[in-house]
Protein backbone atom coordinates (compact mmCIF):
# COMPACT_ATOMS: atom_id res chain seq x y z
CA UNK A 1 0.00 0.00 0.00
CA UNK A 2 1.49 3.35 -1.00
CA UNK A 3 1.61 6.01 1.69
CA UNK A 4 1.82 9.68 0.95
CA UNK A 5 1.28 12.88 2.85
CA UNK A 6 -0.89 15.45 1.17
CA UNK A 7 -1.69 18.86 2.55
CA UNK A 8 -5.17 20.11 3.23
CA UNK A 9 -6.86 23.44 3.51
CA UNK A 10 -7.83 25.28 6.62
CA UNK A 11 -10.67 23.93 8.70
CA UNK A 12 -13.55 26.24 9.50
CA UNK A 13 -15.15 25.83 12.89
CA UNK A 14 -18.84 25.15 12.46
CA UNK A 15 -21.86 23.74 14.15
CA UNK A 16 -21.86 20.26 15.56
CA UNK A 17 -23.81 18.45 12.87
CA UNK A 18 -23.67 16.13 9.90
CA UNK A 19 -24.54 17.78 6.62
CA UNK A 20 -24.65 16.89 2.95
CA UNK A 21 -23.24 19.10 0.25
CA UNK A 22 -23.18 19.01 -3.51
CA UNK A 23 -20.23 20.49 -5.33
CA UNK A 24 -21.18 21.39 -8.87
CA UNK A 25 -17.71 22.14 -10.14
CA UNK A 26 -17.88 19.52 -12.89
CA UNK A 27 -19.88 19.59 -16.07
CA UNK A 28 -23.63 20.07 -16.28
CA UNK A 29 -25.36 17.56 -14.03
CA UNK A 30 -22.01 16.22 -12.76
CA UNK A 31 -22.29 16.52 -8.98
CA UNK A 32 -19.96 15.13 -6.35
CA UNK A 33 -21.87 14.16 -3.22
CA UNK A 34 -20.09 14.49 0.09
CA UNK A 35 -21.25 14.15 3.66
CA UNK A 36 -19.52 15.91 6.48
CA UNK A 37 -19.37 15.77 10.25
CA UNK A 38 -17.96 18.64 12.26
CA UNK A 39 -17.55 18.67 16.05
CA UNK A 40 -15.94 21.06 18.47
CA UNK A 41 -14.04 19.12 21.12
CA UNK A 42 -13.83 20.73 24.54
CA UNK A 43 -10.47 21.20 26.21
CA UNK A 44 -9.36 18.01 28.00
CA UNK A 45 -12.88 16.52 27.72
CA UNK A 46 -12.11 12.86 27.08
CA UNK A 47 -15.85 12.11 26.88
CA UNK A 48 -15.47 13.49 23.37
CA UNK A 49 -13.59 10.35 22.29
CA UNK A 50 -16.50 7.86 22.40
CA UNK A 51 -18.86 10.60 21.19
CA UNK A 52 -16.63 11.16 18.15
CA UNK A 53 -16.59 7.42 17.44
CA UNK A 54 -20.41 7.25 17.61
CA UNK A 55 -20.84 10.30 15.39
CA UNK A 56 -18.39 8.94 12.80
CA UNK A 57 -20.09 5.51 12.88
CA UNK A 58 -23.44 7.20 12.22
CA UNK A 59 -22.02 9.34 9.40
CA UNK A 60 -20.56 6.26 7.71
CA UNK A 61 -23.82 4.33 8.21
CA UNK A 62 -25.81 7.17 6.60
CA UNK A 63 -23.42 7.07 3.63
CA UNK A 64 -23.80 3.32 3.23
CA UNK A 65 -20.28 2.62 4.48
CA UNK A 66 -20.97 1.49 8.01
CA UNK A 67 -19.69 -2.06 7.59
CA UNK A 68 -16.02 -1.12 7.66
CA UNK A 69 -16.09 1.64 10.24
CA UNK A 70 -13.85 -0.11 12.81
CA UNK A 71 -10.55 1.19 11.42
CA UNK A 72 -11.97 4.66 10.88
CA UNK A 73 -13.28 4.77 14.45
CA UNK A 74 -9.97 3.56 15.89
CA UNK A 75 -7.90 6.12 14.00
CA UNK A 76 -10.34 8.91 14.82
CA UNK A 77 -10.12 7.95 18.50
CA UNK A 78 -6.34 8.19 18.34
CA UNK A 79 -6.32 11.65 16.75
CA UNK A 80 -9.00 13.02 19.09
CA UNK A 81 -7.27 11.59 22.16
CA UNK A 82 -3.91 13.03 21.08
CA UNK A 83 -5.38 16.47 20.54
CA UNK A 84 -7.11 16.49 23.92
CA UNK A 85 -4.30 14.94 25.95
CA UNK A 86 -1.28 16.67 24.41
CA UNK A 87 -2.69 20.20 24.13
CA UNK A 88 -4.38 22.45 26.62
CA UNK A 89 -6.88 23.81 24.11
CA UNK A 90 -10.09 22.97 22.29
CA UNK A 91 -9.94 21.04 19.04
CA UNK A 92 -12.17 20.54 16.00
CA UNK A 93 -12.98 17.20 14.37
CA UNK A 94 -14.00 17.21 10.71
CA UNK A 95 -14.84 14.00 8.86
CA UNK A 96 -15.73 14.08 5.18
CA UNK A 97 -17.05 11.13 3.18
CA UNK A 98 -16.82 11.53 -0.57
CA UNK A 99 -16.58 9.36 -3.65
CA UNK A 100 -12.89 8.63 -2.97
CA UNK A 101 -13.36 7.60 0.66
CA UNK A 102 -13.05 9.19 4.08
CA UNK A 103 -10.87 12.06 5.29
CA UNK A 104 -10.72 12.85 9.01
CA UNK A 105 -8.96 15.92 10.40
CA UNK A 106 -8.47 16.91 14.00
CA UNK A 107 -7.37 20.50 14.29
CA UNK A 108 -5.95 21.93 17.47
CA UNK A 109 -4.69 25.39 18.24
CA UNK A 110 -1.12 24.75 19.34
CA UNK A 111 1.88 24.87 17.06
CA UNK A 112 3.64 21.88 18.65
CA UNK A 113 3.81 19.15 16.01
CA UNK A 114 3.04 15.56 16.95
CA UNK A 115 6.00 13.25 17.08
CA UNK A 116 6.19 9.57 16.38
CA UNK A 117 7.33 7.59 19.41
CA UNK A 118 8.47 4.03 19.76
CA UNK A 119 6.33 2.62 22.56
CA UNK A 120 7.88 0.62 25.35
CA UNK A 121 5.94 -2.62 25.79
CA UNK A 122 6.46 -2.43 29.57
CA UNK A 123 5.09 1.09 30.12
CA UNK A 124 1.43 0.74 29.22
CA UNK A 125 -0.48 1.83 26.16
CA UNK A 126 0.76 5.36 25.45
CA UNK A 127 2.85 6.19 22.40
CA UNK A 128 1.07 3.96 19.92
CA UNK A 129 -1.45 6.37 18.35
CA UNK A 130 0.53 7.75 15.42
CA UNK A 131 2.04 4.33 14.73
CA UNK A 132 -1.51 2.98 14.33
CA UNK A 133 -2.42 5.87 12.05
CA UNK A 134 0.70 5.33 9.96
CA UNK A 135 0.08 1.58 9.75
CA UNK A 136 -3.65 1.57 9.00
CA UNK A 137 -4.41 4.76 7.04
CA UNK A 138 -4.04 4.97 3.27
CA UNK A 139 -2.52 8.42 3.75
CA UNK A 140 -1.95 10.74 6.71
CA UNK A 141 -0.14 13.92 7.59
CA UNK A 142 0.03 17.18 9.45
CA UNK A 143 -1.11 20.52 8.01
CA UNK A 144 0.26 23.60 9.76
CA UNK A 145 -2.14 26.54 10.01
CA UNK A 146 -1.64 30.14 11.10
CA UNK A 147 -2.79 29.14 14.57
CA UNK A 148 -2.21 25.46 15.24
CA UNK A 149 -2.28 22.43 13.04
CA UNK A 150 -4.52 19.68 11.68
CA UNK A 151 -3.54 16.02 11.87
CA UNK A 152 -5.43 14.03 9.26
CA UNK A 153 -5.83 10.60 7.72
CA UNK A 154 -7.59 9.18 4.70
CA UNK A 155 -9.13 5.78 4.06
CA UNK A 156 -10.18 4.69 0.57
CA UNK A 157 -13.59 3.75 -0.71
CA UNK A 158 -13.62 0.45 1.19
CA UNK A 159 -14.40 2.25 4.45
> In sequence order, which residues have a C-beta less than 8 Å from that of residue 50 and are 6 or more positions away?
none
- The DSSP secondary-structure symbol of 44 reads T
d(CA 33, CA 64): 13
Say which residue, 21 or 67, is predicted with more confidence. Answer: 67
* Inter-residue contact 79 to 153 (CB < 8 Å): yes
For the stretch 130-143, pLDDT in tens is 899 999 999 999 99
d(CA 65, CA 112): 34
The predicted pLDDT at position 116 comes to 74
The predicted pLDDT at position 152 comes to 97
For residue 10, pLDDT beyond 60: no
Quick one: average pLDDT of 14-37? 49
Beta pairing partners, 92? 40, 107
- pTM of the full structure: 0.75
The predicted pLDDT at position 94 comes to 98
Q: How confident is the model at residue 6 (pLDDT cuts 50, 70, 90)?
A: very low
- Angle at Cα 22 formed by Cα 9 and Cα 33, nearest 5°? 90
Amino acid sequence: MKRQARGGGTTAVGASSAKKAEDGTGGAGDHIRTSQLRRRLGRADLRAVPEARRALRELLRQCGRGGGSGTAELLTSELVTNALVHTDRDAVLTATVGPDGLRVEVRDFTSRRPRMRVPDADTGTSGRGLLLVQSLADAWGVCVHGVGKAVWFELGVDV
